[in-house]
A and B are shown apart, each in its own frame.
Chain A
């Protein structure tokens, strides 16, 4: 009879850490995402976001849209989500988002893909086990139109912890 030894199974690594980032480096993020009607209505109602342009197709049509709009917070959350494995899954708190723009509306049925560039990395004076990394992220729809851009900053865990 053999005993099961989990240590005999090497972990499959995911994510990057502070040392992995170089200023100017570009990440083309995995998967992409087609937004469905249910994604949009589920997210919008779960967050109580009662602008009827996200839930009433006829009202959206009356303002020139082909149908209801995807809630921009769902778009932002999803693009951040798609970027997490490349940028922040290695550990470290989310500090902030600046200069987030939604230049083109997104509708159910649209597909977005995401890409990020490392803008800055620097040491944290108060947290030697982490550095501070800033990325510029852009998302495009299936026609190549920019639908979202923002700058995001995180603490990023170091692989090598400095002595002391």
Chain B
């Protein structure tokens, strides 16, 4: 059995292809608090509930890059399972607050595709990713599908091996 799947080679990402990644992930203490501390982010708004009680949000906020990492993580098997490297990111925006208990889903679109300048066995794909949440807004009202993150990822992806 191969280590990676069949539909994730450079040729599988024509410009304009859209993907809805079917697995979501609920962000809780483990994802936000643990990862924020793991990466040494000293902003206590992510891990001190008391400090946030009188803030406009009233509770801890999920670190934007934890949200971004969850969104990009959720795209990886479908977009980058055969990515030799992620070369860069661009235009990352954090468009709405995320709270513990919210569930994140990810969406992708291929916006550019080009041959790699220095190798024949791979090409460069630029993806645009969106993350949405299902959970509660700042006033405690239910939201379904609110966009919380947008960003682009540039990846060097292997071409389908010649058999």
Contacts and interface: CB of A to CB of B under 8 A. Distances in A.
Contacts of B94: 93-96
For chain A, which range describes its interface: under 10, 10 to 19, 20 to 34, or 35 or more residues? 35 or more
A102 B4 CA distance: 23
A81 B91 contact: no
A56 B4 CA distance: 11
Contacts of B70: 47-48
B90 A94 contact: no
A80 B41 CA distance: 7
Contact of A51 (B40, B76, B93): B76
B84 interface: yes
A163 to B, nearest CB: 21
Interface residues of B, number: 42
Contacts of A101: 87-88
A76 B67 CA distance: 13
B92 interface: yes
B89 A76 contact: yes
A143 interface: no
**What 7 A-B pairs come out closest when comparing CB atoms?**
A47-B73, A81-B39, A81-B41, A49-B73, A100-B89, A77-B39, A81-B40
Interface of B: 3-4, 23, 25, 30-31, 34-36, 38-43, 63-66, 68-70, 72-74, 76-77, 80-81, 83-94, 151
17 contacts: A31-B40, A47-B72, A47-B73, A48-B74, A72-B86, A77-B69, A80-B39, A81-B40, A81-B42, A88-B43, A94-B64, A97-B151, A100-B88, A101-B88, A102-B86, A102-B87, A150-B89
